[in-house]
């Protein structure tokens, strides 16, 4: 009887350890600034999660897309997302969720019923992944017509507020991230949408501000372009009495495809992609307000040598590493060495 009791106790401890694994990883990853954007549910393939872990990266952006999970009202498809998140946790990665995209209902219109439909989905997602996902980003590039057409700060704040209230009611410890802003390419002013968010009462409905300071094919150090974009965000927040909130760069990267159009503003060589990655992390993390930086993306989404969208990855579609993969490793190792030295002073 005693042996049977011990077996039950050991089994209970194993189950408890597994169920708390993601929560423990979240705590462990808090101090690391290094992240990457993974494809929709590509980490359902465990090999992808393992390759991310090998770099030393601690954070992944996991999309939680409404149109994929609930394409028709009441019809849910969580399975691939569950597998991806389980594998990410298994391999020591902290996960943050990007809630976005319209489905059978369109919350970007600001319609009350559509917002209610959206928050019902948010409620299901936050409940399902509580203890695994603590940080929730609300939409993606809402200042860009490709994701919110036309951009409308008043409607976005309405969505943001409803999401904040819904998520915090379920998980008071969760953090809400203002959806990563695209800005205006290489031209200034970079992030005027921030002002509109504050003017429409958004200040109290996000804990972290996210933005995407792409520099097209330019070096991040050229004309201090990346620094100017970071400073633009921070100065706008300060002007609205909100200087102490952290900021996350939730997308930053360069495509390493062949240049077929001399007028194209995006492609760089694989070696330049690696060099720019190193420069971008050094510049970004020199600002104490920038707590995390997520490279876009981890794996090339396709095999076309000329399609820009196929070539942002640290690794190729066939899983072979590009120079940027090893450059990211070196950036992380250097950061760890600096932190180790600081801890013994």
Task: Provide CB contacts within 8 A for 284, sequence distance 6+.
Answer: 226, 230, 249, 252, 290, 293
The pLDDT of 201-225, averaged and rounded, is 95
Task: Provide CB contacts within 8 A for 17, sequence distance 6+.
Answer: none
pLDDT, position 24: 56
- The answer as to whether 19 is a domain residue is no
- The answer as to whether 4 is a domain residue is no
The pLDDT of 273-288, averaged and rounded, is 98
- The answer as to whether 21 is a domain residue is no
CATH code, domain with 206: 3.20.20.80
CA atoms of 52 and 265, how far apart (whole Å): 28
Q: Give residue 9's pLDDT band: very low, low, confident or very high (50, 70, 90).
A: very low
pLDDT tens profile 79-116:
999 999 999 999 999 999 999 999 999 999 999 999 99
CA atoms of 333 and 55, how far apart (whole Å): 9
User: Which of 155, 123, 128 lies closest to 139, judged by CA?
Assistant: 155
Q: How deeply is 263 buried, as exposed, middle or buried, from its count of CB atoms within 10 A (0-12, 13-18, 19+)?
A: exposed
The pLDDT of 280-308, averaged and rounded, is 95
- The answer as to whether 45 is a domain residue is yes
Q: Is 100 left (phi over 0), alpha (psi -120 to 50) or beta?
A: beta
pTM of the complete model: 0.91
- The answer as to whether 119 is a domain residue is yes
**In a 3-state reduction of DSSP, which class is residue 146?**
coil
181 close to 142: Cβ distance less than 8 angstroms: yes
Considering the chain, what is the average pLDDT of its residues? Answer: 91
pLDDT, position 266: 73
pLDDT, position 15: 34
CA atoms of 213 and 289, how far apart (whole Å): 15
137 close to 59: Cβ distance less than 8 angstroms: no
**Residue 47: alpha-carbon gap to chain centroid:** 20
- The answer as to whether 6 is a domain residue is no
- The answer as to whether 132 is a domain residue is yes
237 vs 345, residue with greater confidence:
237
- The answer as to whether 79 is a domain residue is yes
> 217-226: string of b/e by CB count within 10 Å (b at 16+)?
bbbbbeeebb
> 63-88: string of b/e by CB count within 10 Å (b at 16+)?
bbbbebbbeeeeeeebeebeebbbbb
What DSSP state is assigned to residue 241? Answer: T
The pLDDT of 272-277, averaged and rounded, is 97
Identify the domain containing residue 195 by its residue range. 32-343
pLDDT at 303 over 50: yes
What total of structural domains would you count in the chain?
Answer: 1
């Amino acid at each position: 009887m005693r042996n049977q009791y011990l077996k039950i106790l050991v089994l209970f401890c194993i189950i408890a350890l597994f169920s708390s694994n993601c929560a423990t990883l979240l705590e462990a990853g808090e101090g690391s600034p290094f992240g990457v954007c993974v494809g929709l549910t590509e980490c359902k393939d465990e090999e992808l999660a393992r390759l991310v872990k090998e770099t030393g990266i601690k954070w992944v952006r996991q999309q939680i897309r409404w149109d994929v999970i609930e394409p028709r009202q009441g019809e849910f498809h969580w399975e691939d997302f569950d597998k991806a998140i389980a594998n990410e946790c298994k391999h020591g990665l902290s996960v943050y969720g990007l809630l976005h995209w319209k489905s059978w209902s369109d919350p970007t219109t600001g319609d009350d019923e559509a917002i209610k439909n959206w928050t019902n989905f948010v409620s299901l997602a936050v409940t399902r992944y509580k203890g695994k996902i603590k940080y929730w980003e609300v939409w993606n590039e809402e200042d860009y017509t490709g994701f919110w057409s036309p951009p409308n700060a008043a409607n976005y704040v309405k969505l943001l507020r409803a999401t904040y209230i819904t998520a915090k009611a379920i998980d008071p410890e969760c953090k809400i991230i203002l959806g990563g802003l695209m800005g205006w390419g290489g031209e200034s002013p970079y992030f005027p949408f921030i002002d509109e968010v504050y003017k429409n009462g958004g200040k109290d409905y996000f804990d972290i501000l996210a933005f995407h300071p792409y520099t097209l094919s330019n070096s991040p150090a050229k004309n201090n372009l990346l620094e100017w974009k970071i400073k633009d965000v921070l100065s706008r927040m300060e002007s609205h009495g909100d200087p102490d909130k952290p900021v996350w760069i939730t997308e930053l990267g360069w495509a390493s495809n062949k240049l077929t159009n001399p007028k194209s503003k995006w492609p760089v060589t694989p070696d330049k992609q690696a060099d720019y990655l190193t420069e971008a992390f050094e510049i970004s993390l020199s600002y104490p307000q920038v707590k995390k930086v997520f490279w876009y993306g981890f794996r090339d989404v396709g095999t076309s040598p000329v399609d820009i969208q196929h070539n942002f990855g640290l690794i190729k579609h066939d899983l072979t590493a590009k120079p940027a993969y090893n450059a990211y490793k070196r950036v992380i190792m250097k950061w760890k060495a600096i932190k180790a030295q600081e801890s013994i002073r």
